[in-house]
Amino acid sequence: MGKEVAGSGCTADDFERFLRLLEEETRHAQAAYFRGAFANDALVAGFELEAWLLGGDLLPVPRNVSFLARLDSPLVVPELSRFNVELNGTPQPLHGTALSRLESELTATWQRCQRVAAADDSALIAIGTLPTLREDDLSLSNMSPSRRYAVLNEQIFRLRGGSALSLNIAGIETLSTTHSDVMLEAATTSFQVHLQVPAGEAARAYNASQILAAPLVALSANSPFLFGRALWHETRVPLFEQAVDCCDPGCPQHMRVTFGSGYLSGDPTACFAENLANYAVLLPFEIPGPIESYAHLRLHNGTIWRWNRMLIGFDDGARPHLRVEQRVMPAGPSIIDMIANAAFYYGSVCMLTRQTLAPEAQLSFAQARENFYLAARYGLEAQLRWFGGQRVSAGELLEQQLLPLARAGLEQLDLSTADVARYMEVIAGRLRSRRNGAAWQLAHHARHRDFARLTADYLDYQRQLMPVHEWPI
C-alpha cells in the first residue's frame, strides 16, 4: 500500500491544503504531458511480489519487523500486515536478457529471505490467498507499525460512518461475513508487474492492459480458497474490492478497488484528473518538494487501487515517466511461473499497443470488464467475448491466439531467444495441461481434503522452483 507518511494529524486544514496541492499537481502533470515533458524512452520492466511469513504450523506469523531487520535489504519492505512482506525487482530495460535477469535477482532475493526466515523457524510462501488463513488472523494487532496503514484504516471507516465492511462472495461455495477494519486486504497477495512506456504510447498501453486483464487473470489464477471455503479461481478480486470499500453506496463506479470507468481516449493523465474529481483524500499529508515531483498526486493515486493503474515515476535524471502497473496477477505459484506470466504480459501488451487497429476499437470496455470478472471466477474455463464477437474459453483464447501473439511481441522486443523460448514453454505447458495454481490447489484439496497438507505440499514444490504444471497432486 505504499510508502510511509509523516504528519501530526488529519484536520480540516490538512485536507484543504492537501487538496489544493493535489489540484495544482494534477493540472501541472497534464500540461507537462502535452508539452512533451514526460520521457519517450524505450520500455522498462519491473515487478513487486507480496509474500507471507509462515510458522512451522503453516499458519501466518506476525514477524515482519524482526525479519526485515535481520534481512536488511532495500529490495524487501513491509506490507499491511505483520505476516506479509513485499519483494521488489530492479527495473530492467526490456531487451536482451532482461527476463532472465529479473528471474535471477528474484530467485536470489527469495532464497536469502528463506534463509533468514528459517533462522526464526519460519518460511516465506508466495500464494494469492493462504489456505490456512483464519479470519481472526486479520486483526489490527497484526497490522504493521506504520502510520500510513493506521491512517488509511481510520479514514476508510470515517467515510463509512463507522459501519463494518461486509464480505459476500458467491462462487463454488459461499462466504458471508463482516469485518471492522481494513485487515481483510492483507489476505490478498499479488505479483504486480510494471511496464514503463514511452509517453506517447501510454494511453494505448493502458487500454491494451485492460483488455488483457481477463486472459491474464485466467492464466495466473492462484487464489481459490478463503477461510476454508472454495470460492472463485481468483478470490483476490472480490475480496480486495470489498476489503477497502469506502465509496458512496450510490456511486459503485467510484470504488477504491475497481476495474476502472473506461478506456483512455488519448491523454494518460486523465486517470489522475479522475482521481481528483471522484475520490476523497485519505492521506492528507503535506510533502515538501517542488510541484514537478507530483508527491501529492502520487500519494493520492496510491490510495486508488484500479486493477490496472497508471503511475508516474522518475529516471536517474529526475525526468518523469509513465508506467502501467498490471495488478491482476496473484503471487505464486513458483518464481518461473511468475516471470513467465510477466513475459507473456510484456509481449502481448506490446503487440496490442502497436496494432494498426486499436484493440479498444474491437472490444467494448463493458465487455473487457465483464471478461475480467468471468475469468477471475472461472479461470481457464471462463467463456470470454473476444475480437469480432467470438465467444471462446479463456484457455483456448490463450493457447490459440494470445500465446503466439506474446511470443511475437517478445521477439520484436529483441529479447534473448533462449529466454523467449523458456518462458513461453512454461505458459504453453500450463495451457496444455490446463493447470494453473488455482487448478492445482482445487485438485489437491479434492483428493486430500486437508488445507495444512495442501499448504505444506505447495511450499515444498515452490521451493523446488518447478512450474506449477509439473507439480504432482
What percent of the chain lies above the pLDDT cut of 70?
97
Q: What is the mean pLDDT of residues 363-376?
A: 98
Q: Are 358 and 248 in contact (CB under 8 A)?
A: no
Query: What would the pLDDT profile of 179-235 be if each residue is shown by its tens digit?
Result: 999 999 999 999 999 999 999 999 999 999 999 999 999 999 999 999 999 999 999
Residue 250: predicted pLDDT: 46
Taking 70 as the threshold, does the pLDDT of residue 255 lie above it?
yes
Q: What is the mean pLDDT of residues 272-288?
A: 95
Query: What would the pLDDT profile of 98-114 be if each residue is shown by its tens digit?
Result: 999 999 999 999 999 99
Residue 21 in grid coordinates: 496541492
Q: What is the mean pLDDT of residues 146-163?
A: 92
* 51 residue type, one letter: A
Task: List residues bridging with 88 in a β-sheet.
Answer: 48
Query: What would the pLDDT profile of 214-229 be if each residue is shown by its tens digit?
Result: 999 999 999 999 999 9
How far, rounded to the nearest angstrom, does the alpha carbon of residue 70 sit from its chain's CA centroid? 27
Q: Are 350 and 413 in contact (CB under 8 A)?
A: yes
What is the pLDDT of the chain when averaged over all its residues? 95
* 401 residue type, one letter: Q
CA nearest 386: which of 341, 352, 418, 416? 352
Q: Are 362 and 387 in contact (CB under 8 A)?
A: yes
**Rounded Cα distance, 269 and 109, in Å:** 34
**Rounded Cα distance, 13 and 300, in Å:** 17
Three-class DSSP category at 168: strand
User: What single-letter DSSP state applies at residue 190?
Assistant: B
Taking 90 as the threshold, does the pLDDT of residue 252 lie above it?
no
Taking 50 as the threshold, does the pLDDT of residue 458 lie above it?
yes
Residue 134: predicted pLDDT: 98
CA nearest 17: which of 215, 296, 335? 296
CA nearest 83: which of 150, 130, 147? 130
Q: What is the mean pLDDT of residues 68-93?
A: 98
Three-class DSSP category at 441: helix
Residue 422 in grid coordinates: 523458456
Residue 306 in grid coordinates: 484500479
* 242 residue type, one letter: Q
**Rounded Cα distance, 47 and 340, in Å:** 13
Residue 51 in grid coordinates: 509474500
Query: What would the pLDDT profile of 21-76 be if each residue is shown by its tens digit?
Result: 999 999 999 999 999 999 998 899 999 999 999 999 999 999 999 999 999 999 99
Report CA dihedral (441, 442, 443, 445) to the nearest 10 degrees: 80
The confidence band for 10, taking pLDDT boundaries of 50, 70 and 90, is confident
Site of grid cell 509513465 = 322
